[in-house]
Amino acid sequence: MKVAILGATRGIGRAIARRLAERGDTVFLLGRDETDLNQSASDLKIRAGKPEAVAGVATCDLEEPGSFAPALDRAEATLGKIDAVVVTAALFATQDRLEADPDFTRRLLTVNFANTVVFCEEARRRLLAKGGGTLCVFSSVAGERGRKPAILYGASKAGLSQYLEGLDHKFHAKGLRTICVKPGFVKTGMTEGLRQPPFAGEPDQVAVDVCRAIDRGRPVVYTPRIWALVMFVIRLLPRFVMRRIGF
Amino acid sequence: VSASLKTSNTLAGWGRMPVVPGTERRSEDLRALTAAQHLSRGLGRSYGDSSLPAAGDLEVATTTLADRILSFDEDTGILRAEAGLSLREIYRLFLTRGWFTPVTPGTQFVTLGGMVAADVHGKNHHRDGCFGAHVTELLMRVADGRLVTCSPTVETELFRATVGGMGLTGHILEVAFRMARVPSPWLWCESQRVRDIDEFIDGLKAASAEWPMTAGWIDCLTGGRHLGRGILIKGRWATPAEAPAHPPRPRKRLTIPFEFPRFVLGPLSIKAFNTLFYWQPLPTGVVHPESSFYPLDVLRDWNRMYGRGGLTQHQCVLPNEAGRGAARRFLEVLVARGGASFLCVIKDCGPEGVGLLSFPRPGISIALDIAVRKDTQELIDALNECVIKEGGRIYLAKDAFTRPEHFRAMEPRLPEFLRVRRRWDPEGKFRSAQSVRLFGDAPRTTGSPT
């Protein structure tokens, strides 16, 4: 499988890229910083035991929509046909910080929703033009329900989940496999410094779940799996309860 | 970020004792992470307070997210990686390709940075020395904020103080070292029962002349005529002809789910275990590398077996000059105090390494796992007094109880280490709970940076 990954240098994206490369897939890395991309490329080639594991790298920044098309063009030119595009990149901050910083709030909403959707549009057009493929995008359980600790971040992810569901409905018959990944709390640099809730997951475990979902074309993935149950309960909680609890 | 959002606010080493206020900060970007921190921490496998912040520091830079392999040269075997790469990953990725680290400690759950900082040794110390002997270059962040490259030939002083320097000369960001070729991913081991400590030491010396790996287990509850009886293990990498055709499968790991009550590792159960262990049938032949190198790694959180009080380890080396009787005298102190130790490992060490404070020196090393009780301080004091008398020293990565005056008495090398450290860190930025306890570093006063 030939996979382009946006966000492959860090966190869950790094874990997914490693898993794909080690099992023999070919990856193309997209990210903000060229040096960082090259270091991750070295890491993946050595881990896979073959230089062909990484087809190439290209800079692509979710804050710069102008970078999307050229980066995906380079990925396509290098890989020939792209089988899957994976997007793990996003911005994150706590609700407290976002409430105190309207500029960062605007940036986060733009990156996580508007720009991610624009990137996905570029990606799915290319996939559909070659007869289909997989578009695997990281949303979040935070987008399932408006909750006090993640109102703004959650809203950006709710919009993204809605968009991905629509894509699946419209293009599934044309060969596009849209995968909306909804991770719960995962121990990465993104959640560094936060108090860990129960069921906090590891990036490697998430990578296993996501690679399996890509292989099987599952439209929605909760990971770690227990979060499907947690969110099922939270969706059922009536409003007067949600107003009272802090979760 | 409000205080309530921070992760749990205490830190401990593998012995779960002492516990100090502190938070781990993590990032894939070590350069950014270490800029404002005074100590790095890896996987937290040092037993005592080596990886704990000094009082007042409250945070440590945890390197585990910075785990990329930056280069690997198949011709020279030189691997360069970020300091948070774990030995477990190296083991998983490279052993079946015919490569391994030239030195491994008794657990895979250590980072490269930690292996350098503690200058770890393994069963092959008599032949291959410490890990530091195979390090070709380090990239460090030093006290004035600069990134400095040091190696056996560049900034030699910094290099020698950092290898075995317990992270007190600066943050280790990248490590380059020479990997070793192995003929197969399996080991060949032979064991023999040994009746007493004198026979043990003779046996170790004889075995070390012929075998690349040696170590022994001692039943340290038995005194008198059989003082120091145990099992001597000799090993080498299996040849391709001896090795099974398939690679060693990763072993299933069990978790110790809760703290065991005290009696579980009490004298009676240890006595029973030791007797059974001593008389077990001794296999000879091909052995899974994990069960030989990392026997305890199959039990996740095995430190919980030692109960709420935690555990400590006492590891010392008794120099050859002290003569064969030194180990006997040391064990007599231990047995007389009834210091029941579940695990007692003996090993002969080869020449001293490059590190200014590296632990091993030619002699006999004895490591004891000890459940922490009310009398642990007195036991460690008594053992340390014996070590001082014999001219030996202790291993900082294991220590939580040694008194500063004892440490100074056994470390004539300390002033030279402190001199180099002062040169690179004149204001004393880098410190740990251990350096405050043993090296005379002042705890940081909160507030103004005076």
Q: Rounded distance, CA B435 to CA B39, Å?
A: 11
Which residue among the candidates A92, A153, A163, A222 is catalytic per the annotation? Answer: A153
CB contact under 8 A, B1 and A46: no
Query: Which residues of chain A have a CB within 8 Å of the CB of B73?
Result: none
Of the candidates B23, B29, B68, which has its C-beta nearest A43's C-beta? B68
Compute the nearest-CA separation of A238 from chain B (Å): 26
Q: Quote the CA–CA distance of A83 and A132 in Å, as a whole number.
A: 8
Contact A82, A127 (CB under 8 A): yes
Confidence at residue B310, expressed as pLDDT on a 0 to 100 scale = 92
Interface touch B68/A193, C-beta < 8 Å: no
Answer yes or no: do A14 and B6 touch at CB < 8 A.
no
C-alpha B430/C-alpha B427 separation (Å) is 9
B68 → chain A, closest CA residue? A43
- Chain B residues with at least one Cβ partner in A under 8 Å: 1-2, 4-8, 23, 25-29, 65, 68-72, 93, 97
DSSP string, B311-346: EEEEEEEEEGGG-THHHHHHHHHHHHTT---S-EEE
| A222 in active site | no
- Do B25 and A11 count as a contact with CB atoms less than 8 A apart? no
Q: How many CB atoms lie within 10 A of CB A94?
A: 18
Residue A239 has pLDDT above 80, yes or no: yes
Q: CB contacts < 8 Å between A and B, how many?
A: 50
Distance CA A186, CA B65 (A): 13
Q: Which residues of A fall within a CB distance of 8 Å from B300?
A: none
Token pair in block for residue B435: 């350096």
Q: What is the pLDDT of residues A154-180, one digit of tens each?
A: 999 999 999 999 999 999 999 999 999
Chain A residues in contact with B65 (beta carbon < 8 A): 188-189
Cβ of A189 within 8 Å of Cβ of B68? The answer is no
Cβ contact (<8 Å) for B6 and A189?
Answer: no
Q: A70-83 b/e with 16+ CB inside 10 Å = b?
A: ebbebbbebbeebb
Task: Quote the distance between the C-alpha of residue B103 and its chain's center.
Answer: 12
Which residues of chain B make contact with A200, given a CB cutoff of 8 A?
none
Label residue A198 by pLDDT band (50, 70, 90).
confident
Distance from the B75 Cα atom to the nearest Cα atom in chain A, whole angstroms: 14
Q: Do the chains contact at B28 and A96, CB–CB below 8 Å?
A: no
3-state helix, strand, coil split of chain B in percent (to 5) is 30, 25, 45
DSSP string, B81-115: EETT-BHHHHHHHHGGGTEE-S---S-S--BHHHH
SS3 for B277? helix
- Please compute the mean of the pLDDT values over residues A129-157 and round it to a whole number: 97
What are the residue ranges of helices labelled H in B124-249?
A: 125-128, 156-162, 197-210
Q: Among all residues of chain A, which has the CA nearest to that of B92?
A: A47
Instruction: Please report which helix (H) or strand (E) contains residue B49, including its range.
Output: none
Q: Which among B5, B7, B65 is the nearest to A189, CB-wise?
A: B65
Residue with tokens 């270091």: A39
**Minimal Cα–Cα distance from A42 to chain B, Å?**
6
A142 within 8 A of A98, measured Cβ to Cβ: no
Contact check, Cβ <8 Å, A47/B71: no
Nearest CA-CA distance, residue B2 and chain A, Å = 8
Of the candidates B8, B65, B68, the beta carbon closest to that of A40 is on: B68
B84 CB neighbours in chain A (<8 A) are: none
Contact B6 A195 (CB under 8 A): yes
Give the Cα separation of B68 and B85 in Å (integer): 7
Q: Which residues are within 8 A (CB) of B168 and not within 5 positions of it... i.e. 6 or more apart?
A: B421, B430, B431, B432, B435, B439
CA distance B12 to chain A (A): 18
Say whether B5 and A94 touch across the interface (CB within 8 A).
Answer: yes
Is pTM beyond 0.90 here?
Answer: yes
- Select from A46, A96, A194 the Cβ nearest to the Cβ of B69: A46
Task: State which residue of chain A sits closest to B66, comparing Cα positions.
Answer: A10
Contact between B214 and B233 (Cβ < 8 Å): yes
Q: Do B72 and A46 touch (CB under 8 A)?
A: yes
Which residue of chain A comes nearest to B73, CA vs CA?
A46
Contact (Cβ atoms closer than 8 angstroms) between residue B299 and residue B306: no
Neighbouring CB atoms inside 10 A of B352's CB total 16
Distance from the A45 Cα atom to the nearest Cα atom in chain B, whole angstroms: 9
B410, B385 Cβ separation under 8 angstroms: no
Residue B114 · residue B171 · CB < 8 Å: no
- Residues of chain B contacting A189 with CB distance shorter than 8 Å: 26-29, 65
B338 sits in the region (left: phi over 0; alpha: psi -120 to 50; else beta) called left
Out of A46, A189, A194, closest to residue B27 by CB: A189
Give the integer Cα–Cα distance in Å for A149 and B4: 12
Cα A119 to chain centroid, rounded: 12
**Is A192 close to B4, i.e. CB distance below 8 A?**
no
Report the distance separating Cα B152 and Cα B262, nearest Å.
47
Higher local confidence (pLDDT), B220 or A136: A136
Which residues on chain A are in Cβ contact (under 8 Å) with B179? Answer: none
Contact A188 B72 (CB under 8 A): no
| Runs of H (alpha helix) within B289-443 | 289-293, 325-336, 376-390, 404-410, 414-424, 433-438
Residue A196 CA to chain centroid, in angstroms?
21
Chain B positions touching A14 (Cβ under 8 A) are 28
Task: Give the distance from residue B224's alpha carbon to the nearest chain A alpha carbon, in angstroms.
Answer: 51
Mean pLDDT per 10-residue run, chain B (450 residues)? 50 96 95 96 98 95 98 98 98 97 97 98 98 98 98 98 98 98 97 95 96 94 90 96 93 87 80 88 92 88 88 97 94 84 91 97 96 92 98 98 98 98 97 97 66
